[in-house]
Amino acid sequence: MALDVAGVNTYTEELGSTPRSCRSDMGKMPGARFAEQVPLNFLLFLHRLAEEARTNAFENKSKIIKPEHAIAAAKVILKKSRG
């Protein structure tokens, strides 16, 4: 464990009240929280797309993902991600 002054300081800041970087964001509207949620949805979408494309490629016994696999996957996943 770091016993020097700087190390102790960071340690107490972590355990203590909100870190400074978070504080500025917290005061904002709920929009701030929403804006961080869209990337999550996009990540999940890409994950699904990747899985689908991979299964397509496996079915065709192909070692690499070709455009036709990606197109077929895109059709299915875009349909699934309709709200």
Binding site for other proteins (CB under 8 A): 15-18, 22, 25-26, 30-34, 36-47, 49-51, 53-54, 57, 63-67, 69-71, 74, 77-78, 80-83
Residue with tokens 């397509």: 56
Cβ 8 to other proteins shortest distance, Å:
16
Q: How far is the CB of 10 from other proteins (least distance, A)?
A: 15
Q: If you ran DSSP here, which 8-state letter would residue 54 be given?
A: H
Rounded to whole angstroms, the Cα distance separating 9 from 63 reads 53
The C-alpha atoms of residue 79 and residue 39 are separated, in whole angstroms, by: 19
- By C-beta, is 8 or 54 nearer to other proteins? 54
